Chains A and B, each alone.
Chain A
Amino acid sequence: MMFANREIVTGLDIGTSQVTAIVAEIGASNVPNIIGIGQAKSRGVRKGEIVNADLTSEDVRLALSEAEQMADEEIRSVYLGVSGGHVRGFINSGTHPVVSADRDITEDDVRDVVRNAKAVNLPNDHHVIHVVRQHFSVDDQSGIQNPIGLLGAKIGVDLHVVHGQANRLQNSIRVVKGLRVDVEDVVFSGLAGVLSVLTPQQKELGTLVIDYGGGTLEYAVCCNGLVKHSGVLPVGGDHISNDLAFGLKVPLGRAEQLKIAHGSALGGDHFRGQTVKIPDRITMPDKTINMEHLGRIMSLRVSESLKLIESELIEAGCLDLVRSGVVVTGGGARIQDILGLAEHVFGVPASIGTAQNVNGPKSVLEQPEFAVGIGLAKFGVFELLKQKDRRVHNRGFGRTIREMLKIG
C-alpha cells in the first residue's frame, strides 16, 4: 500500500488513427513525469468523431490497460481530448465601465468585464469547452496583463472561446464512462498540443502549432504567452490515403502503406520518371505505381490543407502573429518534406514538435504522435497542482489555459 498515495493523472486522446493514453505523476520540482503509455489502433473514429462506439470503447480499453500495466497503477479518471469538425474557436470581447469614484480598477471590475466577455452567443446545442483570457485593455491602452490597481474609466478584455456541439462531445465522454473511468475534464486537443510542445519563448514570440492527425487538423496560434486563436479542420491523413487509393487505383490499406513508405509533401516533379512496384495478390504481375502521380496527389492534398489553415488564420487576423515558427505534431509530422512545405506556406521556420518540460522515456517524448496525449497529461498535472495549491489562486476566473501556460 505504499504507493496508494502516489497521485497520477492520465491523458486520453481518442484519435482517428490511434488511441493514446499517457499516465503521468508529479515529479521533482513539479515537472510532470511520464510513467506509463498505452496505444491502440483506433477503429471507430472518422474525422475526429466517434462513429462506432463499441469499437472505440474496446480500443480505449486496450490503450488504458496497456498504460495501467506500464505505470503499475490503476487509472480511475482521465483528462479527455476532444476534437472534430464541430469544434470552433473565436474571439469575444467585453467591456465594462469603471464605476468607483476614484476610477481605481478593483477585482470586482475585472470580474465584471470577464463576465461580460463570457456572454457569448452560441447555438443552443453548443457547449463552451474553453475560455482563454487575453490581455486587458484600459481606456484603449491595450496589452495590460493585470489591471487591478490601475486607473481608468473603461476596461475591456478579449476572450478566446472554444466551443463544440454538446452531443458530439458527450459521445466520447460516454465511451470513457462506459468503461467505469471518470472524465475529470475535457480539453480541446489543439490546445493540449500547444501545452505539450511549445517552449515559453515560442509562446511569447508567436508560434503556430499544427496537429496533423489522421482525421483532423487542429491548429492554434500562441503569441505573447497567450493562445490567440485555435480551430479544427476535419481533414487529415486519412484523406491523403483516400486520395491515393482513388488516384492510383489501389486498395485503401495499400495506399496507406504507399503514403508512409514513399509519400512526400513536395510535388511530383521530384519523382519524375520514377516508379515503384507493389506486389498484388489478385493480378499476378506486380502493379507498378507512378511515383510522380503519387507525389502530385499527395502534395496537392497536403498543401491544400495547410493553405486552408492559412486562410483561416487570415480570416481571424492571426497570420501576422506567427513570427517565430510553425510546429507540426501528430502523425502527419512524419510526412516527408512537410516542414519544407509548411515553411513555404507560412514563411517562417518549421519544426517537428517534441514534448517540452516533461520527464519520461525519450522514445515517447520525441514522437510527434504523442504530443496531444502528453499535453493532456500535462494539463492534468497542472490541475492537480492547482488543487493542491488552492490558496494562491483567485477563484472567479475558473480554469484558464493562460494560467497553465504561465506555469509551463
Chain B
Amino acid sequence: MNESMNQSAGNPAAERQLSVKVIGVGDAGCRAADLLAGEVMPGVEFWALNSDARGLQDIVKAQKLQLGQDLLRGLSAGGDPELGRASAEAEQKSLVEKFSDSDLIIFLGGLGGGTGSGALPVLARQAREVGALVLSFVSLPFDFEGQQRSQRAELALSQLLVASDAVISLPNQTFLEIVDERTRLPETFEIINRAFLQGVRGIWQMIEKSGLINVSFQDLRSVVQSKHAKSSFAVAEADGENRSREVVERLLAHPLLSGNDQLEDADALLVNIIGGESLSISEVDRIMERLRRHAGNARLVVGASTNPAMGDRVGLTLIASWHRKTRSVSLKIDAPSMDEFTFPVPIEGSEIETSFFERNTDFTSTSARYTAPPPASEDRRTDRLFAQSKPSFNQQRRIKNKLKQGMLKLEAVSRGRFEKSAPTIYDGEDLDVPTFVRREVALN
C-alpha cells in the first residue's frame, strides 16, 4: 500500500506510473538519448552509457554512466565488440540494480562500432532477465563504412534479436533515399537521430495514458514480448483536406518500409495516430481502414491521441514486426561468418526460406532451435534448390500483394465476374461484392 502511494505521489489519481527507461549505448546511442532527453516525456528516465569518457562529456541532458572504467580507463572500445561486451559485463551489478524497477527499457544504439555492437546484446539480456520489456532501436552502418563494419553490425543484430523482445533497425543507407544530394553530413546524422526520436516518442505516446484510444502497456507487451521480432518503423505527417488519405500514402511510401508489400507479411503492427484537436474518430477509422487493407493478417495495436501543437496536421507512427524473420533484408547470405553452416535441404519450396533465414538470424541459438542436424548438401545442389524455390516465393508474394478488404471474408467467392477487374472501392466498400453480402441480409 505504502509502496503504491509512493510511486504515484506525483499523480495521485493515476495508478502506478510506468517506469520507462531510454538508454543510449555507444556514441550514436548517447547522442540520440541526449536529444530525446530534451523532449517532454514525464515518467521516462534517460541514460547515456558509453565506454568513452570523452563521448560522455558532450552529453548534457541525459544521466551518464561510464562502462568498463577499470577495463578501458575511459578510452573507447576502439571498434572492438569484444571490448564493448567485456565493458558491459564488468558493470553488470550496478546495471542490474538500475534496471530492476523498470517496466519498459528502450535501448538506442548504433551497430557496427565497438561499444554499441558489443555492449547492447549484453545489456538487453540483463534487462530482460530482470523482467523488463526490452525494445532496441538500432541504426545499421552506411554502405560506405565498409564491409567489416556492416558484418560486425549484422552479427550484433542477430545477437540482439535473441536478447531483446523486439529490435527496430534503421539502416542508415535508407536515409540516403530521404535526404537530397546536397544535405551535409551533420544534417544527415541529425535526421537519423530525429528518426530515433520519432520512434521512441511514438511508442511513448501510445502507452502514455492521455490518448483518445489508449494502448496499455500490456497490449504492447503481449505484441512484442518474447517474440524476438525484427521490426521496421516509419513516420509520416500530412495536413489539408485529404490528410487521412495522404498520411497513409506517405507512410507507405516511406523508404524505411521499403515498399508496402512488406506490411503484408508483418505479424504485428503498432500504429499511433496523433493529431490536433480537430482529429475526428472517423478520420482514425479511415486511416485504420486503409492500413488494414495493406496489413494482411497482422495483429493491429492502435493508439490515437491529440496534441494541440499538431494544429491541422495528423501524424502517423507505425512499427511493423516480423516474428518469423523471413524477410531479414539486411542479412547477407555471403557473410563469411556463415561459412561454417551448410544449408539444410528443403523438403518443400517454402520451407527453405524460413529455415535458412532462421539459421542466420538466430545465430547464437541455433543449437537450441534445431535438434536434428540437416543433411549436408553440395553447393551446386543448394544453388539449384534456391533457384527453384525463388519463383514459388515470388508467386506467394504476388498473391499476397493484392489489395485486401479486411472486412470482407467472402471476397474471394463473391466477386464472381469481376474477379479479374480492379475492385470498385467507394467509401471503403467494394461495390463489386453483392450488396446483400455487404449489408449482411440473410437469405434463409
Q: Is B426 an interface residue (CB 8 A)?
A: yes
CB contacts (< 8 Å) of A46 on chain B: these are: 418, 421
Q: What's the Cα separation between A241 and B434 when bound, in Å? A: 10
- Whether the Cβ atoms of A300 and B443 lie closer than 8 Å is no
Q: Is A228 an interface residue (CB 8 A)?
A: no
Residues of A within 8 A of B437 (CB): 246-247
B403 → chain A, closest Cβ, in Å?
A: 15
Question: In whole Å, how far is B304's beta carbon from the nearest beta carbon of chain A?
Answer: 26
In this complex, the interface size class of chain A, counting residues with CB under 8 Å from chain B, is: 20 to 34
Contact between chains at B424 and A301 (CB < 8 Å): no
Task: Report B430-441 CB contacts with A as 1/0, cut-off 8 Å.
Answer: 011011110101
Is B93 an interface position by the 8 A CB rule? no
Selected interface stretch from A135-143, A232-240, A385-393, A400-408: A232-240
Which A-chain residue is minimally distant from B414 (CB atoms)? Answer: A246
Within the assembled complex, what's the spacing in Å between the Cα atoms of A297 and B443? 9
In terms of DSSP, what is the predominant structure of the interface of chain A?
Answer: helix
Complex contact B435–A304 (CB within 8 A): yes
Give the residue of A51, A238, A243 whose beta carbon is less than 8 angstroms from that of B435: A243
| B398 within 8 A of partner (CB) | no
Residues on A with beta carbons closer than 8 Å to the beta carbon of B374: none
Q: What separation, in Å, do the CA atoms of A35 and B114 have in the docked complex?
A: 88
**Which A residues lie within 8 Å of B416 (CB)?**
242, 245-246, 252
Q: Is B417 an interface residue (CB 8 A)?
A: yes
Chain A, residues 223-257, CB within 8 Å of chain B (1/0): the string is 00000000001110011011101110000100000
Q: CB distance B434 to A247 under 8 Å?
A: yes
- Chain A residues in 8 Å Cβ range of B436: 243, 247, 296-297, 300-301
Q: Which of A47, A233, A241, A293 contacts B421 (CB 8 A)?
A: A47
* B413 contacts A by Cβ under 8 Å: yes
Given A247-B443, A293-B443: A242 in contact with B418 (beta carbons within 8 A): yes
CB-based A-B contact count at 8 angstroms: 62
B374-428: which have CB < 8 Å to A?
Answer: 413-418, 420-421, 424, 426
> Does A85 belong to the interface (CB within 8 Å)?
yes
- Docked-complex contact B424 and A234, CB < 8 angstroms: yes
Asked if residues A235 and B418 are in contact (CB atoms below 8 Å), the reply is no
Q: Which residues of B contact A234 (CB under 8 A)?
A: 424, 431
Shortest Cβ distance from B410 into A: residue? A246
In the complex, chain A residues 195-209 whose Cβ is within 8 Å of any chain B Cβ: none
Do residues A243 and B443 form an inter-chain contact, with CB atoms below 8 A?
Answer: no
- Bound complex: CA of A246 vs CA of B441, how far in Å? 14
Is B434 in contact with A47, judged by CB distance below 8 angstroms? no
Q: Contact check: which of B415, B424, B439 meets A85 at CB < 8 Å?
A: B424
State A210–B86 Cα separation when bound (angstroms): 78
**Residue pair B421, A297 in contact (C-beta under 8 Å):** no
Q: A46-B418, A233-B426, A308-B426 are in contact. Are A300 and B413 (CB under 8 A)?
A: no
Closest CB of chain B to A235's CB: distance in Å? 5
Give the docked Cα–Cα distance between A298 and B323 (Å).
46
Q: How distant is the Cα of A242 from the Cα of B432 in the complex, in angstroms?
A: 9
* A-side contacts of B418, CB under 8 Å: 46-47, 238-239, 242
Taking the closest CB of chain B, its distance from the CB of A408, in whole angstroms, is 32
B417 touching A238, Cβ below 8 Å? yes
Contacts of A239 in B (CB 8 A): 418, 431-432, 434
Q: Would A301 and B434 count as touching, CB distance under 8 A?
A: yes
Q: How far is the CB of A291 from chain B (nearest CB, A)?
A: 12
- In the assembled complex, how far is the CB of residue B245 from the closest CB belonging to chain A, in whole angstroms? 14
Most chain B CB neighbours (cut-off 10 Å) among A290, A293, A300: A300
A254 to chain B, nearest CB (A): 13
A51, A234, A290, A297: most-surrounded residue (chain B CB, <10 A): A234
In the bound assembly, the distance between CA atoms of A51 and B421 in angstroms comes to 9
**Could you tell me if A252 and B434 are in contact, using CB atoms closer than 8 angstroms?**
no
A297 to B438, CA, bound (A): 11
CA of A252 to CA of B421, assembled, Å: 16
Contact B417 A241 (CB under 8 A): yes
Of listed A51, A242, A245, A293, residue having the most chain B CB within 10 A? A242
Residues of chain B with a CB closer than 8 A to A301's CB:
434-436
| Chain B residues within 8 Å of A241, by CB | 417
Residues of A within 8 A of B432 (CB): 239, 242
Which residue of chain B is the closest to A311 with respect to CB atoms?
B427
| B residues less than 8 Å from A246 (CB atoms) | 413-414, 416, 434, 437
The answer to whether A47 and B424 touch across the interface, beta carbons within 8 angstroms, is: yes
CA distance A297 to B431 in the complex (A): 14
Q: Name the distance in Å between A270's Cβ and chain B's nearest Cβ.
A: 16
* Residues of A contacting B414 in the complex (Cβ-Cβ under 8 angstroms): 246
Given A47-B418, A252-B417, A235 contacting B434 (CB threshold 8 A)? no
Write out the residue numbers on chain A whose beta carbons fall within 8 Å of the beta carbon of B421: 46-47, 51
Q: In the complex, what residue of chain A is closest to B416 when comparing beta carbons?
A: A242
Complex Cα distance, B424 from A242, in Å, reads 14
Q: Can you list 6 A-B contacts with CB-CB less than 8 angstroms, sorted by A residue number?
A: A51-B420, A242-B432, A245-B416, A245-B417, A246-B437, A301-B434
| B interface with A by C-beta (< 8 Å) | 413-418, 420-421, 424, 426, 431-432, 434-437, 439, 441, 443
Q: Which residues of A contact B (CB under 8 A)?
A: 46-47, 51, 85, 233-235, 238-239, 241-243, 245-247, 252, 290, 293, 296-297, 300-301, 304, 308
Q: 5 more A-B contacts (CB under 8 A) besides A233-B426, A243-B434, A301-B436?
A: A235-B424, A238-B417, A246-B414, A246-B437, A308-B426
User: Which 5 residue pairs of A and B lie closest in terms of their CB atoms, listed nearest first?
Assistant: A243-B434, A300-B435, A301-B435, A242-B416, A242-B417
